[in-house]
Structure 1
């Protein structure tokens, strides 16, 4: 049986259009940062933290992602879910496609985020469900903001006021949280809301599920555009941060 401490879901279906021409024919998660691809940094952090299984949701250039995973050499069992609608949906739909694999709990990782392995370890060691959050970074319009109360997430979204910090794209859900999230994903997809961020489903379960926050400790970067890529190569250009 896999749980949130041993099973990760990595969302790697997107096209990375803001990184073109680098991503013209290469998935964003396979862009090189230092001596390895972004996905290589992520898999190394998962491997070091003791994860055993990774479900990778593919879309754009899926064969390249599969080929990388097959040859990566980490001690991880990797399986795949494919999105045929990667060019017309958002990551809520990608996560929904993996819903049957979530029931025992899982850790969720966006495939364009580089983060300290030590922060992932603290997240994995936290009981129940939790988000990895940066409470120090200045918040602009594009950041996925989190509001907390008494150490728990109570709201998430890009348009929040009075936010506590930024969700960095790494989280975990215990069995109860995973079940509640899967139900919300079902409801939102049934309602045709397939072009939304999965954080919209997070926001809908906070009243029913206790979701804590774990501070990220160290450098991290979500690589959306060329400025982010330059920053990521400066911060993670040699080895994955501990």
Structure 2
């Protein structure tokens, strides 16, 4: 299984920090960065093959990856990261998305047990849905019907919508179907939307199950308010779980 981490964006809502650093270099507990934590936990759970899309501060991301010599890395550069969304980075990485995949955004902070249990989950295609958390205003929600995710968007707030984070476990067939729809979107000039916009058109033909994430930790850092909150929460969560 491969993992693809989308780290090609600007992180413009992080203020002065992202004038000099990539958002994935945001320090968490003990100074460990978001990206280092992601790579550490994923490699500890057996992932050895990574694709990382890059845009600004590519050298910082490469230096972080170099700290994991046991893993192999393919870097996919998006030279127009400042005027495209990550759907275009997925398009550029399309040839490397050729296996069972973990697909995740580069601003996610999560715990190791989530990775372990999602990998062990009997559902071949799944993504984390928190059924007890208040719906976020600005972040993704997932529409769940009979245990299946059928839509992901920041704009949905119905009774069957729940807090969602973009961390997907997908078999090769589902990943390939998503990439195929992304290629279609790019051919139509749709390069400024989320890759989820393409996925939404084929969700109902797939069987991506909701993985209940209520007992785990997974959240994204999108701005400085998120950064301060997540830094505090992940320290407390790791101490309670003793499984960081």
Q: TM-score, normalised by structure 2?
A: 0.91
Q: Give the deviation of 1:88 after TM superposition.
A: 0.5
Candidates 93, 101, 109, aligned match of 1:98: 93
Structure that is richer in helix per residue: 2
- Give how far 1:11 is off: 0.5
8 Å Cα contact 1:145/1:163 also seen in 2: no
Q: Post-superposition shift, 1:218?
A: 2.3
**What are the equivalent positions in structure 2 for 1:160-239 lying under 5 Å apart?**
160=156, 161-216=158-213, 217-237=215-235
Listed one character per residue, the Cα deviations across residues 83-115 of structure 1 (whole Å, up to 9, x for unaligned) are 001100111111221111112221011111101
Segments of structure 2 that go 5 or more residues without pairing to the other structure are none
2:88–2:186 Cα contact (<8 Å) kept: yes
Partner of 1:3: none
SS at match of 1:87: helix
**Residue 239 (structure 1) shift:** 8.8
Distance 1:150 1:165, change over 3 A: same
Task: State how far apart, in whole Å, the 2-side matches of 1:190 and 1:181 are.
Answer: 14
Q: State the match for 1:154 in structure 2.
A: 150
Identify the residue that residue 11 of structure 2 maps to in structure 1. 16
CA contact (8 A) 1:119 1:215 kept: no
TM superposition shift of 1:238: 8.2
Task: Sort the Cα spacing of 1:158 and 1:239 in 2 relative to 1 into closer, same or farther, 3 A.
Answer: closer
Instruction: State which of 82, 99, 103 in structure 2 corresponds to 1:108.
Output: 103
Cα-to-partner distance string for 1:20-57 (whole Å, 9 max, x where unaligned)? 10111100001111221110110111012111111110
Q: Distance in 2 between matches of 1:156 and 1:232?
A: 22
Contact 1:123/1:171 (<8 A) preserved: no
1:25 corresponds in structure 2 to 20
Are 1:18 and 1:225, in contact at CA under 8 Å, matched by a contact in 2? yes
**Counterpart-to-counterpart distance in 2, 1:237 and 1:21:** 24
CA distance in structure 1 between the partners assigned to 2:226 and 2:110 by the alignment:
13
Q: Select the residue among 130, 133, 137 that pairs with 1:137.
A: 133
Q: For the aligned residues, what is the CA RMSD?
A: 1.7
How far residue 8 of structure 1 moved from its aligned partner, in angstroms, is: 0.2
Matches within 5 A, 1:120-135: 120-126=115-121, 127-135=123-131
61, 75, 87: which one pairs with 2:82?
Answer: 87
> Does structure 1 residue 68 correspond to structure 2 residue 64?
yes
Give the Å deviation of 1:140.
Answer: 3.4
Point out the more displaced range, 53-62 or 141-150.
141-150
The answer on whether the counterparts of 2:114 and 2:217 sit within 8 Å (CA) in structure 1 is no
| Structure 1 pair 239–60 and aligned structure 2 pair: CA distance change class (3 A) | farther
- Where in structure 1 are there 5+ consecutive unaligned residues? 1-5
8 Å CA contact 2:143–2:152 kept in 1: the answer is: yes
